[in-house]
Structure 1
Amino acid sequence: MPADVTHTAQLPLEPQGILDLAVRSMFQLLSSLSQGMFIIDVHARIVWVNEGYRRFLPALGLNSIDDFLGHLVEEVIPNTQMRRVLETGKPVLIDLLTNRAGTFVVSRLPLLGEGGAVIGAIGMVLFDQPETTLQPLIAKFARLQQDLEDARRELAAQRSAQAVGGRRAKYTLAGFIGASSAAVEVKRRARRAAVSSSPVLLLGETGTGKELLAHGIHAASARAARPFVSVNIAAVPDTLLEAEFFGYVAGSFTGADRRGREGKFKLADGGTLFLDEIGDMPLALQSKLLRVLQEAEIEPLGSNQLVAVDVRIVAATSRDLPALVREGKFREDLYYRLNVLPIRVPPLRERREDIPALVEVLGEDLAQRSGAVQPELLPEAMALLRAQAWRGNIRELRNVLEQAVLRSDSLAIDAGQLEAVLRESGQEPSVPPTAAPAPAMPAPRNAEMLLRPLAEQVQELECRAIAAALQACRGNKALAARQLGISRATLYDRLGTMSENTTPA
Structure 2
Amino acid sequence: MSEDNCIQSAMVDSLFDIFEELCEGAVSVDENARIVWINSKYLNLLGVADEDEVLGRDVQSVIPESMLAHVVETGQPILLDIMRFNNRHFVVSRLPLHNEDGVVIGAVGFVLYDSLDYLKPLISKFELLQQRLSSAEAKLAAARRTRYSIANIIGRSQHICDLKEQARAVARHTSPVLILGETGTGKELLAQSVHSASVRRHEPFVAVNLAAVPENLLEAEFFGVSPGAYTGADKRTGLGKFALANGGTLFLDEIGDMPLQLQAKLLRVLEEQEFEPVGSNAVQRVDVRIIAATSQDLEAKVRQGGFRSDLYYRLNVLLVAVPPLRERLDDIKPLSEYFLETIASRSGDALKVIDPDGLAVLESHNWPGNVRELKNTLERACLMCDSAGLSADGLRPFVPRGATAPVTAAAETGLSLPARIASIERQAISRALEMTGGKKAPAARILGISRSQLYDKIRDHRLYD
**What does 1:401-420 correspond to in 2, within 5 Å?**
401-420=378-397
Deviation at 1:254, TM superposition (A): 2.3
- Say if 1:419 and 1:429, in contact at 8 Å, map to a contact too: no
- Say if 1:160 and 1:225, in contact at 8 Å, map to a contact too: no
Q: Paired residue for 1:310, among 278, 283, 287?
A: 287
State the match for 1:191 in structure 2: 168
**What CA distance in whole angstroms lies between the structure 2 residues aligned with 1:300 and 1:440?**
66
> Partner of 1:231: helix, strand, or coil?
strand
Question: Alpha-carbon deviations, 1:374-421, whole Å to 9, x = none?
Answer: 111111010010110100000000011001000011221111221111
State the match for 2:155 in structure 1: 178
Q: 1:380 to 1:221 in 2, by over 3 A?
A: same
> Partner of 1:403: helix, strand, or coil?
helix
Q: Which amino acid aligns with 1:231?
A: V
Question: Alpha-carbon deviations, 1:117-153, whole Å to 9, x = none?
Answer: xxxxxxxxxxxxxxxxxxxxxxxxxxxxxxxxxxxxx
Say whether residues 1:389 and 2:389 are aligned partners.
no
**What CA distance in whole angstroms lies between the structure 1 residues aligned with 2:159 and 2:321?**
10
State the match for 1:15 in structure 2: none
State the match for 2:249 in structure 1: 272
**What CA distance in whole angstroms lies between the structure 2 residues aligned with 1:167 and 1:318?**
24
Say whether residues 1:262 and 2:262 are aligned partners.
no
- Say if 2:365 and 2:399, in contact at 8 Å, map to a contact too: no
**What CA distance in whole angstroms lies between the structure 2 residues aligned with 1:316 and 1:225?**
22
State the match for 2:333 in structure 1: 356
Deviation at 1:429, TM superposition (A): 4.2
Say whether residues 1:234 and 2:234 are aligned partners.
no
State the match for 2:404 in structure 1: 430
State the match for 2:5 in structure 1: none
- Say if 1:348 and 1:390, in contact at 8 Å, map to a contact too: yes
Q: Which amino acid aligns with 1:328?
A: G
**Unpaired runs of 5+ in structure 2?**
1-134, 407-425, 430-443, 454-465
State the match for 2:67 in structure 1: none
**What CA distance in whole angstroms lies between the structure 1 residues aligned with 2:168 and 2:299?**
25
Q: 1:388 to 1:163 in 2, by over 3 A?
A: closer
**What does 1:55-94 correspond to in 2, within 5 Å?**
none
**What does 1:53-132 correspond to in 2, within 5 Å?**
none
Deviation at 1:431, TM superposition (A): 9.1
State the match for 2:412 in structure 1: none
> Partner of 1:261: helix, strand, or coil?
coil
Q: 1:341 to 1:440 in 2, by over 3 A?
A: closer
Q: Which amino acid aligns with 1:198?
A: S
**What CA distance in whole angstroms lies between the structure 1 residues aligned with 2:210 and 2:327?**
28
**What CA distance in whole angstroms lies between the structure 1 residues aligned with 2:234 and 2:216?**
16
> Partner of 1:164: helix, strand, or coil?
helix
**What CA distance in whole angstroms lies between the structure 2 residues aligned with 1:165 and 1:360?**
28
**What does 1:14-25 correspond to in 2, within 5 Å?**
none
Q: How many residues align?
A: 281
State the match for 2:119 in structure 1: none
Q: Which amino acid aligns with 1:430?
A: T
Q: 1:165 to 1:256 in 2, by over 3 A?
A: farther
Deviation at 1:440, TM superposition (A): 12
Q: Which amino acid aligns with 1:379?
A: P
Q: Paired residue for 2:300, among 314, 323, 326?
A: 323
Segments of 4+ in structure 1 off by > 2 A?
A: 158-166, 427-441
State the match for 1:219 in structure 2: 196
Deviation at 1:430, TM superposition (A): 3.3
**What CA distance in whole angstroms lies between the structure 2 residues aligned with 1:322 and 1:337?**
13
> Partner of 1:248: helix, strand, or coil?
coil
State the match for 1:365 in structure 2: 342
Q: Paired residue for 1:400, among 365, 377, 389?
A: 377
**What CA distance in whole angstroms lies between the structure 2 residues aligned with 1:367 and 1:401?**
11
**What CA distance in whole angstroms lies between the structure 1 residues aligned with 2:452 and 2:273?**
68
**What CA distance in whole angstroms lies between the structure 1 residues aligned with 2:405 and 2:355?**
16
**What CA distance in whole angstroms lies between the structure 2 residues aligned with 1:182 and 1:318?**
18
- Paired-residue identity, %: 54
- Say if 1:161 and 1:167, in contact at 8 Å, map to a contact too: no
State the match for 1:338 in structure 2: 315
**What CA distance in whole angstroms lies between the structure 2 residues aligned with 1:440 and 1:379?**
10
> Partner of 2:164: helix, strand, or coil?
helix
**What CA distance in whole angstroms lies between the structure 1 residues aligned with 2:161 and 2:137?**
29
**What does 1:6-45 correspond to in 2, within 5 Å?**
none
**What CA distance in whole angstroms lies between the structure 2 residues aligned with 1:440 and 1:183?**
29
Q: TM-score, normalised by structure 2?
A: 0.58
**What CA distance in whole angstroms lies between the structure 2 residues aligned with 1:409 and 1:370?**
14
State the match for 2:145 in structure 1: 168
**What CA distance in whole angstroms lies between the structure 1 residues aligned with 2:158 and 2:452?**
31
**What CA distance in whole angstroms lies between the structure 2 residues aligned with 1:438 and 1:197?**
57
- Say if 1:422 and 1:428, in contact at 8 Å, map to a contact too: no
**What CA distance in whole angstroms lies between the structure 2 residues aligned with 1:281 and 1:439?**
54
State the match for 1:301 in structure 2: 278
User: How much is the aligned-residue C-alpha RMSD, in angstroms?
Assistant: 2.4
Deviation at 1:163, TM superposition (A): 7.5
Q: Larger Cα Rg: Structure 1 or Structure 2? A: 2
Deviation at 1:439, TM superposition (A): 13
- Say if 1:161 and 1:168, in contact at 8 Å, map to a contact too: no
Q: Which amino acid aligns with 1:330?
A: F
Q: TM-score, normalised by structure 1?
A: 0.53
**What CA distance in whole angstroms lies between the structure 2 residues aligned with 1:440 and 1:243?**
61
- Say if 2:146 and 2:205, in contact at 8 Å, map to a contact too: yes
- Say if 1:384 and 1:431, in contact at 8 Å, map to a contact too: no
Q: Which amino acid aligns with 2:387?
A: S
Q: 1:404 to 1:422 in 2, by over 3 A?
A: same
Q: Paired residue for 2:398, among 421, 429, 432?
A: 421
Deviation at 1:162, TM superposition (A): 4.4
